[in-house]
Amino acid sequence: MIPESFKNDLLNRVDIVDLIERHVRLKKAGANFVACCPFHNEKTPSFTVSPSKQFYHCFGCGAHGNAISFVMEYSGLGYIEAVKDLAESVGMKLPEFERRAGGGAPIAGDEGPDLYDIMKRAADFYREQLKASPAAVEYLKGRGLTGKVAARFGIGYAPPGWQNLQPVFPDYADKALKDCGLVIDGEGGRRYDRFRDRIVFPILNQRGSVIGFGGRVLGEGEPKYLNSPETPLFEKGRELYGLPQARTAIREAGRVVVVEGYMDVVALSQHGIEYAVATLGTATSATHVQKLFRQTDEIVFCFDGDAAGLRAAWHALEVSLPVLADHKAVKFLFLPAEDDPDSYVRARGREAFERLLHEARPLSEFFLAELRGRVDVTTPEGRSRLIHEAKPLLKRVAAPALQLQLLKQVAQASDMTQEDAARLTEIRSAGPARSAYAAPARGPDRGMLALDHRLERELIICILAHPPLAREVPAEIVDDGHPEGRALAALIGFEGIEGLTHAVILEAMRDSEHEALLNRVDGELLERRMEMNVARTEFNAAITALRMRNPNPRIRELEEKDARGRLIGQGLTGQESEEYRQLKAEEAALKQHRMPPSRMV
Ligand code: UTP
Ligand code: MN
């Protein structure tokens, strides 16, 4: 969407310390700056900004990223807006670009019309129209809403008729109206309003600007809700309906409730529960969860008690696992099958609903119940399968204490010791810390070590400390059969980029499977204060250790050929024998090499 080169230039031009200092008081601490984290409540500073690497990291809540991430999280902007804001702050202009390949609409540059302004004018118009439509007002009253709550959510009404927006926008043919998703170009080029004869719910971004609409039919009809399409302003998978309105209440209540519908949010607010938000007819995403954890430590997902609700809840659980921290909690509330939050709170009131919230099931309980439901725990085979099912999920849990708790439960349910369960699920057990370079040779340790990808991690840390090192990783030591290996492979993929910096790497990895890993690795990087020369030493040591662990496959190949040769009378050629001798000599030299004892991790 936005050219890589532009983003890289931008990241090289802004100074993250300057940027963050405009909003947060930073204190110098060694090579870095620290502050109380702007993304969660704390009394002692655990938010760190690295000027040399141009990223921030909070050891408390896990907030993490480059300058673009900071603008997104702090100001609640979408990605494109954040890039634009940041670019303007350093006098760069976002080039016109295609949103999607082919047919996409170029985003309005400085000369173009302001899409936010267009959306605001449409919302104002719909609000006015609601006042003039008794049928629409009756409908909302019939659903128990007062004018006050309708105003809080800016609810409006799009009247029947095909071109009601014409008088609002005299240039009705303007391309920008289409870019906003307000109109549809029909066959024969006839343009008409997207929303007709519907109650309209404006969707706001965190800054409070209208970025989309959801439109409900007044009674029965298909589709029940019609939503804005994805536009330059509106990305469904990132946004949460009602978040700007709920923000204060979320802070006060110390929790947020995530429901499924517009009407659920509005009805809960009508009954005094103002800390609810809704996903926009899409599955819960990790971005949603992250966004909410920036506001509070507890998320209660509230789903219908039917099969679809259960599936949606399980999906929410899966996306939460990598973003959970040990001081954060995710809970699940399943309503009786016939209810949704709207009908429940209207029938039984605020206190009854809040009682349900207090009894919501912790993630750990839902996790185990679901897994147990998938197998027959009365048989050894079923219990083995439980482990098998749990493994990929446990591996995704980023919060160490939670991971251990879940592991314990799984071990109990499958009638195994915690050690066995840890080994089978490839979770590092909470045994004594070990050196990254511990000899891999002995006994049962071997399996654990092979699965514990510390060396790859170490290489990743070194590359993040000094990105040019990416060029020096020998391809044959990379094993992409595990997350650390894949992240390493991705980093090596950057070797051609000129002026590769830490911030650019983070940018390229945004929304990739490597994000959570990089976040953790960056935390370690800060704690160890690894500077460039140290990075190089550590890097060489890790490469050597990895080579030792994974012997050169060429040696094996030559040995096999030699063995075969003895049987059929056709051994290694002279050249191959020489190569073999050399490789073995190198290997022996590697084994002689003493590892520096300094890196006990
Ligand atoms: P629901 O069908 O549960 O709607 O869909 P609701 O919010 O309870 O609506 P009411 O009470 O009948 O008015 C939940 C959410 O799924 C999306 C909307 O975001 C809705 O709020 N949805 C649903 C659509 O986008 N389109 C549809 O046709 C239906
Ligand atoms: Mn409903």
Average pLDDT over residues 195-199: 98
Nearest bound ligand to the CA of residue 140: 1
Indicate if the pLDDT at residue 244 is higher than 80. yes
Of residues 442 and 66, more confidently modeled:
66
Query: What does the alpha-carbon distance between residue 50 and residue 481 come to, in Å, rounded to a whole number?
Result: 32
Residue nearest to atom 24 of ligand 1 (CA): 225
- 303 CA distance to ligand 1 centroid (A)? 13
Residue nearest to atom 4 of ligand 1 (CA): 261
- Other beta carbons within 10 angstroms of residue 577's beta carbon come to 13
Indicate if the pLDDT at residue 345 is higher than 90. yes
Q: Tokens at residue 66, please?
A: 């480059």
Residue nearest to atom 27 of ligand 1 (CA): 225
**DSSP conformation class of 120:** H
- 292 CA distance to ligand 2 centroid (A)? 23
Among the atoms of ligand 1, which is closest to the Cα of residue 224? 28
Residue nearest to atom 21 of ligand 1 (CA): 261
Average pLDDT over residues 48-54: 94
Give Dmax over CA atoms of the chain in angstroms.
98
Residue nearest to atom 18 of ligand 1 (CA): 281
Average pLDDT over residues 172-185: 96
Average pLDDT over residues 347-362: 97
Of residues 112 and 558, more confidently modeled:
558
For residue 62, the model assigns a pLDDT of: 83
Backbone angles phi, psi at 182, to 5 degrees: -80, -25
For residue 435, the model assigns a pLDDT of: 34
Indicate if the pLDDT at residue 509 is higher than 90. no
Indicate if the pLDDT at residue 21 is higher than 80. yes
- 222 CA distance to ligand 1 centroid (A)? 11
Indicate if the pLDDT at residue 512 is higher than 90. no
For residue 106, the model assigns a pLDDT of: 41
Lowest mean pLDDT among 19-33, 349-363, 471-485, 580-594: 580-594
Average pLDDT over residues 81-106: 68
For residue 28, the model assigns a pLDDT of: 93
Among the atoms of ligand 1, which is closest to the Cα of residue 340? 8
For residue 551, the model assigns a pLDDT of: 67
3-class secondary structure, 384: helix
> Regarding beta strands 329-334 and 55-58, do their DSSP bridges make them parallel or antiparallel, or are they unpaired?
unpaired
pLDDT band at 337, cuts 50/70/90? confident
Residue nearest to atom 6 of ligand 1 (CA): 261
Query: What does the alpha-carbon distance between residue 593 and residue 587 come to, in Å, rounded to a whole number?
Result: 10
341 preceded by a cis bond (ω within 30 of 0): no
- 130 CA distance to ligand 2 centroid (A)? 21
Of residues 197 and 569, more confidently modeled:
197
- Other beta carbons within 10 angstroms of residue 563's beta carbon come to 10
- 364 CA distance to ligand 1 centroid (A)? 29
For residue 64, the model assigns a pLDDT of: 93
Lowest mean pLDDT among 98-112, 171-185, 229-243, 494-508: 98-112
Average pLDDT over residues 449-468: 81
Q: Tokens at residue 596, please?
A: 């520096």
Helix (H) or strand (E) holding 215: strand 210-217
- 593 CA distance to ligand 1 centroid (A)? 65
For residue 532, the model assigns a pLDDT of: 77
User: What dihedral angle (degrees, nearest 10) is formed by the CA atoms of 585, 588, 592, 594?
Assistant: 100
Query: What does the alpha-carbon distance between residue 322 and residue 24 come to, in Å, rounded to a whole number?
Result: 27
84 with 73: CB under 8 angstroms? no
Among the atoms of ligand 1, which is closest to the Cα of residue 241? 19
167 with 287: CB under 8 angstroms? no
- 210 CA distance to ligand 1 centroid (A)? 20
From start to end of 20-154, where are the E strands? 27-29, 32-35, 47-50, 55-58, 64-65
**DSSP conformation class of 145:** -
Residue nearest to atom 8 of ligand 1 (CA): 261
Residues forming a β-bridge with 215: 200, 226
pLDDT digits (tens, 9 = 90+) for 579-599: 888 888 877 776 665 444 343
- As residues whose CB is below 5 A from the ion ligand 2, the structure lists 263, 340, 342
Of residues 274 and 430, more confidently modeled:
274
Lowest mean pLDDT among 67-81, 137-151, 399-413, 433-447: 433-447
For residue 600, the model assigns a pLDDT of: 37
Query: What does the alpha-carbon distance between residue 118 and residue 121 come to, in Å, rounded to a whole number?
Result: 5
Q: Is 337 exposed, middle or buried (0-12, 13-18, 19+ CB in 10 A)?
A: exposed
Question: Which residue in 86, 74, 83 sits closest to 37, CA to CA?
Answer: 74
Residue nearest to atom 5 of ligand 1 (CA): 261
Indicate if the pLDDT at residue 448 is higher than 70. no
For residue 101, the model assigns a pLDDT of: 31
Nearest bound ligand to the CA of residue 142: 1
Indicate if the pLDDT at residue 338 is higher than 80. yes
pLDDT band at 79, cuts 50/70/90? confident
Among the atoms of ligand 1, which is closest to the Cα of residue 343? 11
pLDDT band at 452, cuts 50/70/90? low
pLDDT band at 471, cuts 50/70/90? confident
- 120 CA distance to ligand 2 centroid (A)? 27
Instruction: Identify which of 224, 268, 335, 343 to mutate to test ligand 1's pocket (most ligand atoms within 8 A of the CB).
Output: 224
Average pLDDT over residues 242-269: 94
Of residues 274 and 497, more confidently modeled:
274
pLDDT digits (tens, 9 = 90+) for 277-287: 999 988 998 88
Residue 410 CA to its chain's centroid (Å)? 26
- 344 CA distance to ligand 2 centroid (A)? 10
Residue nearest to atom 20 of ligand 1 (CA): 261
Of residues 598 and 183, more confidently modeled:
183
Indicate if the pLDDT at residue 431 is higher than 70. no
- 142 CA distance to ligand 2 centroid (A)? 13
- 104 CA distance to ligand 1 centroid (A)? 28
191 with 184: CB under 8 angstroms? yes
Instruction: Identify which of 199, 225, 227 to mutate to test ligand 1's pocket (most ligand atoms within 8 A of the CB).
Output: 225
3-class secondary structure, 156: strand
Instruction: Identify which of 153, 217, 262, 304 to mutate to test ligand 1's pocket (most ligand atoms within 8 A of the CB).
Output: 262
- 280 CA distance to ligand 1 centroid (A)? 9
Average pLDDT over residues 135-157: 98
Whole-angstrom CA distances from 58 to 44, 256, 467, 593 are 11, 21, 22, 38
Tell me the DSSP string of 494-532. TTT-TT--HHHHHHHTTTSTTHHHHHHHHHHHHHHT--H
Q: Report the chain's mean pLDDT, rounded to a whole number.
A: 86
Ligand 1 site residues (CB inside 6 A) read: 214, 216, 223-225, 227, 260-264, 280-281, 340, 342
Indicate if the pLDDT at residue 112 is higher than 60. no
Question: Which residue in 166, 52, 121 sits closest to 525, CA to CA?
Answer: 52
Residue nearest to atom 1 of ligand 1 (CA): 261
pLDDT band at 267, cuts 50/70/90? very high
**CA angle 451-452-455, nearest 5°?**
120
